[in-house]
Structure 1
């Protein structure tokens, strides 16, 4: 059986389904766009019949594809962990949606790298270093010496990129169950989405490939909806984001 939500206030049962519907709709739109964007990118058309320019190795387009693929992979991993640690239907459904959406987007990003003839891993390339470059190879966009963490964010000790969980946090999630697993997952995924939104906003500003910019903006919109949903779910469990 699902655990009690911990929120018995009038209207709580109505608010969460409505918020979840909004988040779910954003996820569905992101998936529909992802399918169209893959076809567009595969044809090499940037719109209006103009052939798209292949991104350079260290361009924001390529860097975002590499880094977000790694970022998404951890979200998928955490979602599969919590699915087996709770019977709460709302958390399990959210985890399924996040895993499904981000696995599909990850496949797109890696597929674009293949289409562009670019490697999925570049030795010696710092994570998110592309956020301090312009669309030209190795050029800088005037971010005041930004080394790639963007929006003032920095990865916490033991984490590869901003928002990502550490090995110790993943081990805690794997060892938790019931409400403890639900709260920790929602807190970790909130951090994860906040880091992902900052990165996607960077691509929406800097990437030169139109379909990739649009996909990045779709990620921003969908993950912001899920952030609202997760804050509500945490309140129902007497908890809050980790701030």
Structure 2
């Protein structure tokens, strides 16, 4: 679809910078996942079991659900476009967030805590300055797409599908960064705080990348 020269002209940067940014984001997330995996294997989190209504438990529950939608959207767009950059980004997001979702769910199992809160989503962030970001009507949590938006994405093809996916994923990352930053500030299990900060750093980098990709397609974040 886009040639290297067209990419360079549209962005004002060298075309090969995009794979580098994707790889850098993946490395940051991979390190965070490795840290969490190591802690689970040596039993570290079980020595610091948080309360059911704690930020630690709430973040693990809600981020697992939040991640699942990112995985779903990424697999949807993979089949709607032939653009290698979008497909590569979608694959990276799907693989990383699926792995993290499994880790967070496993963590809750080790803590013997419920995976669904009786108080609903985001209860652990109520009353916090960084918890004012609101979910739109029809969405489970801030940044998440509605069922209607997912259906619309599935009906698009090519460049239109790429643009809508990038817009939805930027929104999704914004909500995820808000949650992860809250955990980095409020969670008490140190390895979870590190994982959350890794999510903040990596998803902010990905949002910058996706904004550039939208510009190349004559569009912008919503």
Q: TM-score scaled by structure 2?
A: 0.92
CA distance in 1, matches of 2:5, 2:164: 16
CA distance in 2, matches of 1:23, 1:151: 28
Q: Which consecutive aligned stretches of 4+ in structure 1 deviate over 2 angstroms post-superposition?
A: 2-17, 41-46
Q: State whether structure 2 residue 42 is matched by structure 1 residue 43.
A: yes
Superposed CA RMSD: 2.2
In terms of fraction of residues, the more helix-rich structure is 2
Q: State whether structure 2 residue 72 is matched by structure 1 residue 84.
A: no
Pairwise mapping of residues 209-220 of structure 1 onto structure 2 (< 5 A)? 209-220=189-200
Question: 1:70 aligned to 65, 68, 84, which one?
Answer: 65
Provide closer, same or farther for how the CA distance between residues 8 and 37 of structure 1 changes in structure 2, counting only shifts above 3 A.
closer
Secondary structure of residue in 2 paired with 1:196:
helix
CA distance in 1, matches of 2:148, 2:30: 32
Once the two structures are TM-superposed, the CA of residue 37 in structure 1 deviates from its matched residue by 1.8
CA distance in 2, matches of 1:73, 1:5: 33
Gaps of 5+ in 1: 133-141
Secondary structure of residue in 1 paired with 2:9:
coil
Aligned residues: 222
Partner of 1:138 in structure 2?
Answer: none
CA contact (8 A) 1:20 1:229 kept: no
Partner of 1:27 in structure 2?
Answer: 26
Once the two structures are TM-superposed, the CA of residue 6 in structure 1 deviates from its matched residue by 11
Partner of 2:159 in structure 1?
Answer: 179
Provide closer, same or farther for how the CA distance between residues 81 and 59 of structure 1 changes in structure 2, counting only shifts above 3 A.
same
Gaps of 5+ in 2: none
The superposition leaves residues 91-139 of structure 1 with CA deviations (integer Å, 9 ceiling, x where unpaired) of 00000000000001101100100111111113x322111113xxxxxxx
CA distance in 2, matches of 1:231, 1:55: 37
Q: TM-score scaled by structure 1?
A: 0.84
CA contact (8 A) 1:3 1:179 kept: no
Secondary structure of residue in 2 paired with 1:10:
helix
Provide closer, same or farther for how the CA distance between residues 3 and 84 of structure 1 changes in structure 2, counting only shifts above 3 A.
farther
CA contact (8 A) 2:8 2:15 kept: no
